[in-house]
Amino acid sequence: MSDREMTRAAASARFLALALAACFFFGCSRSDGSRPETDGLMLSLDDVLARPAVLELPGPVKIWVAEKSSEMGVYYVLSGRELLEPAKQAKAALRLVLFKGRAELRVGEAVKVCDAGAYAAVPPGTAWRLKRLGPEPLLFSLLVSPDAAAPADLLRR
């Protein structure tokens, strides 16, 4: 496979992961308009939050694992913490999708205020920070590729 084909395949995999993430949190409807109880990863937000978190950190920060393989990890995070600024920088590329809340996001030297629906790409080894703005907890997904770190290491200070 050529480099160009590999790049296209990686982009397709990222798009699929984001589509699954959207279905996972906002739920999907069947063609007749009914909603499935559970169809694989396609759960509503209420279904996800009703499940026990895989990991809880001080703050409070709760983490759910939607998918984990050596190529990619998909995590969902609900954070009441004012600041998430990992001390260790991941050796993997990170993709962050903000579902709820308002935050100031820093990736390297770039800083931007983000609302629900924001997407950010964090290159491997790049410092990043997510600062909650307002009282609402942040709800976001974190896609990690390749997934070689424990979820706590991605968020712990």
Contacts within 8 Å (CB) and 24+ apart, 12-20: 13/71, 13/72, 14/95, 14/143, 14/145, 17/67, 17/72, 17/74, 17/95, 17/143, 18/95, 18/97, 18/119, 18/143, 20/66, 20/67, 20/74
Q: Which pLDDT belongs to residue 41?
A: 56
pLDDT single digits (tens) 2-33 = 555 444 444 444 444 444 444 444 444 444 44
79 within a domain of the structure (yes/no): yes
Q: In total, how many domains does the chain have?
A: 1
Q: CATH number for the domain including 126? A: 2.60.120.10
Query: What Rg do the C-alpha atoms of the chain give, in angstroms?
Result: 16
d(CA 151, CA 157): 12
**What rounded mean pLDDT belongs to the chain?**
74
Query: Model pTM?
Result: 0.69
1 within a domain of the structure (yes/no): no
First to last CA, the chain: 39
d(CA 6, CA 102): 35
Beta bridge partners of 142: 75, 96
Q: Which pLDDT belongs to residue 52?
A: 82
146 within a domain of the structure (yes/no): yes
107 within a domain of the structure (yes/no): yes
Backbone angles phi, psi at 139, to 5 degrees: -125, 120
Q: Which pLDDT belongs to residue 28?
A: 43
Q: Which pLDDT belongs to residue 20?
A: 43
39 within a domain of the structure (yes/no): no
d(CA 141, CA 112): 18
| Structural domain boundaries enclosing 56 | 46-155
134 within a domain of the structure (yes/no): yes
**Which residue positions in the chain have pLDDT lower than 50?**
1, 5-39
* DSSP conformation class of 69: -
